[in-house]
Amino acid sequence: MTKSIELKSETELKKMRTAGKATAKILESLKSFIKPGITTEDIDKEVFKQISSFNMKPAFLGYGGFPASACVSVNDELVHGIPNDSCELSSGDIVTVDIGTIYDGYYSDSAFTYPVGAISESAEKLLKVTEDSLYKAIEQVKPGNRLGDVSYAVQSYVEPFGYSIVRDYCGHGLGRNLHEEPSVPNFGKPGTGPRLLPGMVIAIEPMVNIGKYYVRVLPNEWTVVTRDGSLCAHFEHTVAVTKDGYEILTQL
């Protein structure tokens, strides 16, 4: 059975926009907060404090038993990193912070990979290509296009750089739930998949490895790392399909 993709009303979109703006402000503020010497737990505490100051709830805290407000993933950690007070960031690291907020029952979800201090040229290129691929994908969001067009935009942009697209994790619909239909893979064929309609809301989230695409989950049952230990990056926005294109809900 194919589950249907929910279309959000203007009232629902308004709530998701409010949630998304808060998420965007928090991720923006972390650009100056993240520096060598802070721990991944410091980031989580800051995220929790800011989400609370918006009178919102952290979407990830307790989700499936996740123990923190932010997923904080360092270097070869791709997603679902658990913040830790012994994990201190050093210059040259890259760190992904993935957060979500809930406002009046509606979710937002966004992620950004930050440089810590001065990073290598290869890391810098990885971040740029991955972030650019997110916007290439977003450009494909319009009524009439299909989900495969969005997926293909990421893959066709990223792979010529010699990077690989993670297969085991992908984007998703969201609304009153953090994860709804449809799945939004970062690879696929143009002209395939469900047609995009105004009112659909999807989280698009390219996950890109410098090395091979294989990943594994650490014994803590959360943290996902690249199997070959290569660096990886992850950028995500919550995006609504509008009458004539798209609206990025997790943008300032």
The contacts of residue 32 (CB under 8 Å, 6+ apart) are: none
Q: How far is the CB of 63 from Mg ion (least distance, A)?
A: 11
> Are the C-beta atoms of 95 and 89 separated by less than 8 Å?
yes
Q: How far is the CB of 15 from Mg ion (least distance, A)?
A: 18
> Are the C-beta atoms of 239 and 251 separated by less than 8 Å?
no
Q: Contact residues for Mg ion (CB under 5 A)?
A: 98, 109, 111, 203, 236
Q: How far is the CB of 230 from Mg ion (least distance, A)?
A: 21
Fill in the amino acid letter for 137.
A
Q: Which is nearer to Mg ion, 93 or 109 (CB)?
A: 109
Q: How far is the CB of 21 from Mg ion (least distance, A)?
A: 16
CA distance 236 to 216: 21
Going 78 to 83 to 87 to 89, the CA torsion angle's sign is: positive
CA distance 48 to 38: 16
Q: Which is nearer to Mg ion, 36 or 43 (CB)?
A: 43
Q: Which is nearer to Mg ion, 119 or 203 (CB)?
A: 203
Fill in the amino acid letter for 170.
C
Q: How far is the CB of 160 from Mg ion (least distance, A)?
A: 25
Q: Which is nearer to Mg ion, 70 or 158 (CB)?
A: 70
Q: Which is nearer to Mg ion, 36 or 168 (CB)?
A: 168
CA distance 14 to 19: 9
